[in-house]
Amino acid sequence: MHKRPRWTTGFLILLLILVMGNQPDTVRAAAATADPATDRILEYLTSQTPEIGEMARKNPQHRLVLSVEAKPDPQAENRAERDFYQVYVGFLIQDGASGHRSRWATFLVHKDRNEILWANYLTGNSYISLADWKQYIYQAPVEGVNDWACLPYLRVGPIQTYSTLADLEKYFGAGNLERRTVYGAEGAEKFDTTVVFPGTPNELIVFWRNNKYGSSPASVSIRKEGAEWRTAYGIRIGTDLATLNEINGRPFSFYGFDWDYGGIVTGKWDGGVMSSMPGVHLVLRATRELPREYYGDRKVRSDSAELLPDGVQVRRIDVQLQ
């Protein structure tokens, strides 16, 4: 069960109007708030997200509403709560005396106005970058078409959280599926899985909910070199350690190599960017022989000079769907 974040209450509501004219359409505040910092956050969001204006144009009968639902909390451990404003985007629908609000999206805007995340509405504390939202969410994929995108709690290619075995047969063809028993760490558990594209670089292991074959996908695992599958931020099999550090924005920790839990990224990415995408789990491997201290049941830091830039790479990607 994924808990939804506990955001502070008390909305600061800003009603917006759509400004039409010869210039490119923009969304402009109808009235300034009492907080200049909040004004700048909302201006930055609307300037970087013209899709908000597009939605307003598609719904002229309703009033567009932006409101700051939570401000950064310097004491919070969670990166999303510590560094970001949470912004509601929706519509005021006039269906009575006061009407009601309908949420269209929730965005997180960094306090320094250098990053925007989209909040996954299906689960709490899971976000993807604005660029990935524009590419994979706002522009909805064609049903059944595989774009190789792995978005936690949303979809993996055409595989949705509610997909069935029959759907997989339709998407990939029955001849590209294989039923296979897969064992967990230490051999303690075994799973009745479906493998998509078995024996190819794009092999994908589908784990079913409650280990009930053909029910609905709980997670998937990507383990083959050369796979086209990729997560948000473009992580794929073979992504090197220097790139992971760059994406995360800071060093992180993982377990030493050559044991059942070897190479697993630990904790919450030390509060970096990847901590905002908890449904993606990476396992790393050494690409060359390393000193003894990088092996076994111990934590290794990703900024160790001996490992950079490419002494360690991603060897496995697990993506949760439920």
Rg (CA), the chain: 22
At a CB cut-off of 8 Å and minimum separation 6, what does 155 contact? 141, 149, 161, 321
- Residue 145 is predicted with a pLDDT of 80
- Look at residue 300 and tell me if it is in a domain: yes
- pLDDT tens per residue, range 259-286: 999 999 987 899 899 988 889 999 999 9
Nearest to 222 by CA among 188, 195, 190: 195
- Look at residue 228 and tell me if it is in a domain: yes
Name the percent of the chain lying above pLDDT 90. Answer: 72
Angle at 309 between CA 308 and CA 313, to 5 degrees: 95
Q: 289: pLDDT confidence band, cut at 50, 70 and 90?
A: very high
Domain boundary at 94, 123, 138, which?
Answer: 138
Domain containing 22 equals 12-138
- Look at residue 6 and tell me if it is in a domain: no
Is residue 118 domain-shared with residue 25, that is, in the same domain? yes
Nearest to 224 by CA among 310, 126, 148: 148
CA 295 to chain CA mean position, Å:
30
pTM of this structure: 0.82
Is residue 220 domain-shared with residue 315, that is, in the same domain? yes
Q: 34: pLDDT confidence band, cut at 50, 70 and 90?
A: low
Q: For residue 163, what is the domain's CATH number?
A: 2.60.460.10
Query: What is the distance between the alpha carbons of residues 196 and 146, in angstroms, rounded to a whole number?
Result: 12
Is residue 177 domain-shared with residue 292, that is, in the same domain? yes
- Look at residue 2 and tell me if it is in a domain: no
- Look at residue 4 and tell me if it is in a domain: no
Q: What is the mean pLDDT of the chain?
A: 87
289 burial via Cβ count (<10 Å: 0-12, 13-18, 19+): exposed
Contact between 218 and 322 under an 8 Å Cβ cutoff? The reply is: yes
Domain tally, the chain:
2
The partner residues of 125 in beta bridges, in order of sequence, read none
- pLDDT tens per residue, range 210-261: 999 999 999 999 999 999 999 989 999 999 999 999 999 999 999 999 999 9
Angle at 139 between CA 133 and CA 143, to 5 degrees: 115
Q: Which helix (H) or strand (E) holds 45?
A: helix 36-48
Whether the per-residue pLDDT at 6 is higher than 50: the answer is: no
Contact between 315 and 284 under an 8 Å Cβ cutoff? The reply is: yes
Is residue 39 domain-shared with residue 148, that is, in the same domain? no
- pLDDT tens per residue, range 123-172: 777 899 999 999 988 987 777 789 999 999 999 999 999 999 999 999 99
